[in-house]
Amino acid sequence: MLTLLRVAVAGAVFLLAAVLAVAPRPFSSPIRKVANYRADSREPIYNYPLDAAAIRRAGAIVSSSGRTTYYIDTRPLPQLGHDLIGATLLFFLPARPVPSPRDADWVFQYRPAGRKRWLARRTYDVGDGIRLLRIR
Amino acid sequence: MGYVGGVLAFNLVCTAVGYCVLAPALRGLRARTIATYAGVALLAGTAIVGVTLCFVAPFGARIGLLAFAISAAALSAAGLAAARFLPPLVRARPATAPSPPSRLADAVATAAAAGIAVVLVLVLVGGFRSSPWLDDTWYFWLPKGRALDTVGLDPRLWRPDPSLHVFFGHDYESLYFIRPDNPLWWSVVLNLVMRFVGTIDMRAVNGELAFLLVGFVGATARLLWGRIRPWLLLPGLLLLLSAPELLRQTQGGDADVPLAIYLALTVLAAVGWLAERSRFALVLAFVFGAAAIQIKSEGVLELVLDLAILSVLAWRARRALLPLWGAVALAFATSVPWLVWRSRHDVTNVFSLRNALSPSYLSHHTNLLHGGLRILGDNFTSVHKWSLLVPLAVLLGVVAAIRDRRLVWLAPPAFLGFGYAFFVWISWADPEGAFRLVASAYRYVTPPIVLAAVFLPLLAERIVAPRPKTTGTASASAATK
């Protein structure tokens, strides 16, 4: 039941919260943290600075090809490899990653170290130095 | 619809399913009273739909929108039919709160309620503005759900296979899902949220976590309302929400917060059954317990541990223990298809019981014991992370036990103490314990701390309430009222 006391107390709490929300740091720090004043994008927060838009573009192509397989061709950096596996598992399904290009329908080249030559049936440039090759 | 609308729609559907499933227990109540069960309905609906889908996934079903629609419709129809045709075997017994004895008590309760509203609004706003900071979410929790939707439970993605290791520099990564032993509930829920959103938008993960936390506070308040004075209950819940680590993890995207929520509600419902013999509480213990078991591998172990503690300390109510353990066994049975599938496809648990029980193995890894004691101890006792929840649970538990001369009030400190010992033991027996302690210890402590924290208002009520006349088995009931 609403009473004058309850309205006044609740109003005071809401007012205090509003003041803290617009106050300078450090007073607003807890609210800034919880409300995430610097909003994130829809993308995963990758550990390695991946080109998220390119991965989405490649994912749209590979995932629409059904239960195919793909091979990741990139530089020998553990964090980069880790994040590319996770990102492709997220966006490339139902396609499945394989450890060898011999078993792959697709090669996902993410700024690879060397210039391996692939006999590609079709090539998609999805980002800067990021290509998707249909090899089978 | 946008990602906010998608998450909202998913939660509205789950709430509707929850209300339908709970309809046999809620019939006859006034609409305003039924509305206060929204948190319970949201969590029950999300739990039971997810558990149903986890049950059918090992049989080859694809877990997408169609499976969701069929299971939601079937569960809703079953609930409504039970409400229409079955006798009222299960009834929710909502209690009304007493009038505040003073203006000060009224002001405290009102301020706490307003504070809770402010924090929950911030949690919702922050959830929808943040992408999970923990990479587990996009690395395997959500991809597993996408796999269940697009190809079903394909063993090639779950079974550990050294031929699927690829090297990037000096380190290798696996092309199958890591932690394949974890159950499927959180992956199923995350994928359904994305399907409602219509695209992969990681902010929806934190939006969903925010909804679960709002539902948790609402459900806890509803289940304890009228049994604890509002000027104790509401500040207790606000104290729980004041823990910075809980709010931080609610934006992490991992399964530990859902596990903490469902574990705490299962034990709370178990206490409701033991104290009041409420069949409604027993049903909730089954529903919430099934979800807790299906969220993470350690869920079943934590649940058994916590209920064993409760069973020992509430031994006076032993006649009620058999139905309680029966409900938990039934909840466990819902995970049997998953466990059979895992066994058939050699998806072993990362935790080895053989190591855990081997004195020679353990004696060769005592460094992990020291590390576990220190790292987990630091996380359990960090006031910066968990506010005053742990010290208060210990202090109030001891005071209540001394005051009433009843061991049952030591349950919250026991949840913490045995939870600590349990995770130290698990880490000690884990070949990758050193890595996991550094990477995950801060999350291991979340379920035991949240569980102990939901009992803070109950302990406070016990301490300020008149001392009960403790005679016979009735005392167990009186002690928790």
A128 and A98 both lie in a single domain = yes
How close does chain A come to B227, measured CA to CA in Å? 19
A5 contacts on B by Cβ (under 8 Å):
103, 106-107, 110
* Alpha-carbon gap, residue B47 to B37, rounded angstroms: 15
Q: Which residues does chain A have within 8 Å of residue B165's beta carbon, measured at their own beta carbons?
A: 99
The number of folded domains in chain A is: 2
Residue B389 neighbours by CB under 8 Å, 6+ apart: B239, B240, B243, B449, B452, B453, B456
Query: Same domain, yes or no, for A30 and A93?
Result: no
Q: Is residue A47 situated within a structural domain? A: no
- Across the interface, do B131 and A44 touch by the CB < 8 Å criterion? yes
ipTM higher than threshold 0.90: yes
Single-letter residue type at B444: Y
Q: Is residue A46 part of a domain?
A: no
Q: Kindly state whether residues A106 and A62 are assigned to the same domain.
A: yes
- Inspect the interface and report whether the beta carbons of B138 and A87 lie closer than 8 Å: yes
Identify whether residues A64 and A23 lie together within a single domain: no
Same structural domain for residues A94 and A64? yes
Residue A45 maps to a domain: no
Please, is B98 exposed, middle or buried when counting C-beta atoms within 10 Å of its C-beta (0-12, 13-18, 19+)? exposed
Give the per-residue pLDDT at B478: 40
Which residues in A lie closer than 8 A to residue B130 (C-beta atoms)?
A: 36, 39-40
Residue B480 pLDDT: 42
Which residues between 422 and 481 in chain B have a beta carbon less than 8 angstroms from any beta carbon of chain A?
A: none
Q: Does B131 contact A45 at a Cβ distance shorter than 8 Å?
A: yes
In a domain, A88, yes or no: yes
- Extract the tokens encoding B388: 């005053």
Question: Which pLDDT score, from 0 to 100, does residue A115 have?
Answer: 72
Q: Nearest CA of chain A to the CA of B36: how many Å? A: 15
Is A110 found in the same domain as A69? Answer: yes
Most B CBs within 10 A among A13, A22, A34, hence the mutation to make, goes to A34
- Residue-level pLDDT at B474: 41
Within this chain, do residues A74 and A21 fall inside the same structural domain, yes or no?
A: no
Rounded Cα distance between B294 and B292, Å, is 6
Whether residues A125 and A58 share a domain: the answer is yes
Judged by CB atoms closer than 8 Å, whether chains meet at B135 and A6 is answered as no
* A42 lies in some domain: no
Whole-number Å distance between alpha carbons of B179 and B347:
9
Instruction: Let me know whether A72 and A110 are in one domain.
Output: yes
Q: Are B246 and B430 in contact (CB under 8 A)?
A: no
What is the value of pTM for the model shown?
0.95
Is the CB of B276 inside 8 Å of chain A's CB atoms?
no
| A116 shares a domain with A62 | yes
Together in a domain, A57 and A99: yes
Q: Which residues from B are below 8 Å from A96, CB to CB? A: 151, 154, 156-157, 175
How many other C-beta atoms lie within 10 A of the C-beta of residue B60? 9
Mind telling me how many Å the CA of A122 is from chain B's nearest CA? Answer: 25
| For A96, nearest residue in chain B (alpha carbons) | B157
Q: Which domain holds residue A9?
A: 4-35
A41 assigned to some structural domain: no
Burial of B311 (0-12, 13-18, 19+ CB in 10 A): middle
Asked whether residue A76 is domain-assigned, the answer is yes
User: Is A57 inside any structural domain?
Assistant: yes
Helix (H) or strand (E) holding A109: strand A106-110
Alpha carbon distance B175, A97 (integer Å): 6
- The pLDDT tens digits of the residues spanning A42-96 come to 999 999 999 999 999 999 999 999 999 999 999 999 999 999 999 999 999 999 9
Please count the CA atoms within 13 angstroms of the CA of B297 that sit on its side-chain side.
14
* A9, A77, A80 member nearest B111 (Cβ): A9
Is residue A20 located within the same domain as residue A63?
no
Q: Does the CB of B175 have a partner CB in chain A at under 8 Å?
A: yes
CA distance B156 to B408: 48
**Mean pLDDT per 10-residue run, chain B (481 residues)?**
94 98 95 96 98 97 97 98 91 84 94 98 97 97 97 95 88 91 97 97 98 98 95 97 97 97 98 95 98 96 97 93 97 98 91 86 91 96 96 97 94 97 93 90 97 97 79 42 38
